Amino acid sequence: MSIRPTAAERAAVLPGVDVVPGAEVVMDTAFSLPAPPADVWPWFVQLGKRRGGYYLPRWFEAVTPPSRRGRRHLDPALLDLRVGDTIPDWGGREATFTAHEMSPPHALVHISTRDHVRLSWAIALRPEGTGTRVQLRLRLGGVRHRTLARVLGGAADRLTVAGLAVGLRERLTSASGAAGAERVRPREDGRMATVSRHVAAPPTAVWDVLADGWSYSNWVVGASHMRAVEEAWPAAGAKLHHSQGTWPVTLDDEAVVEVSKPASRLVLLAKGRPFGAARVELDLRSEDGGTRVTMTEAPVSGPGKILDNPLADAVLARRNTEALSRLAAMAERRTTPGD
């Protein structure tokens, strides 16, 4: 995978010039990713030590300790980065980066000072067809050994960016594919069942189904009927109450909204006795005039977490494939049966 920038990219003016004016060393890299800037942006926002980690290829992470592997999912708790926030870096115990400039989803600039060296790291995203062209520029000022920095530092920069490019591509393509439901590889830092399918309706139509709490039992496999839906549904913190099973043997359960981003993302903490609670994530992304819906479920408590294994994942994936099929039928308002 090439990380070589074009001549035009090298000559382009990127954000961050004002931070290190007259930089003695400038390192440019660039690569292409198969997703729009809006989908790439959050991966760079959560990037960092003790955050999302550094994204590297699966084959490399397989031989590194789990605690040092980059996340293979987006964590809502890490996406609230703001200008002025400081995050740890790997350049030493005291090394940090500070978010200096943010223009979602196109530009992010981090700044830092390491001893006598001032630096800025600009991340620029621009549309490239249906994907994204990523350009990274590291500017260093106050460098004493410039040739050494250009040669050895440049080689290290290219090596790490090459790994980042492949690692990001893996993460972005893990939930893509042809129409219909498909199994997606589980992330490395915890087992989970993930399925994805194309829905022939816009994200707003899919969201309308999710936002109608009373329709929950129509598409969630195992839920038999609804008992109550709080007025605030699907806002964060809102609950719906449903039952599982077949009358007269039913169990009462509930689901609470953890994250709610209209027509984009819904995260639920669903309680399902006797198996315990599970976190269910539904991500919506525009695709070919319709919506790519990705559904991820991971047990977080109870017997389901204790007994979590590949067989349980396979059962969850099969159940959730059926759930997405039902969700698709409702969002598409079908008049004839489909998949």
Residue 248 has pLDDT above 90, yes or no: no
- Tens digit of each residue's pLDDT (9 = 90 or more) over 146-194: 898 889 988 989 999 999 999 999 999 864 433 344 443 333 334 456 8
Q: What is the dihedral of CA 297, 318, 295, 335, to 10 degrees?
A: -140
**Rounded distance, CA 215 to CA 57, Å?**
40
Does the pTM surpass 0.85? The reply is no
- C-beta of residue 228 within 8 angstroms of C-beta of residue 237: no
Alpha-carbon distance of 316 to 331, in angstroms, equals 22
Helix (H, G, I), strand (E, B) or coil at 88: strand
The dihedrals phi and psi of 317, each to the nearest 5 degrees, come to -60, -40
The pair of three-digit structure tokens given for residue 192, joined into one six-digit string: 């989970």
The string of pLDDT tens digits covering residues 5-39 is 999 999 999 988 888 888 999 999 999 999 999 98
84-130 pLDDT, tens digit each: 999 998 877 778 999 999 999 999 999 999 888 999 999 999 999 98
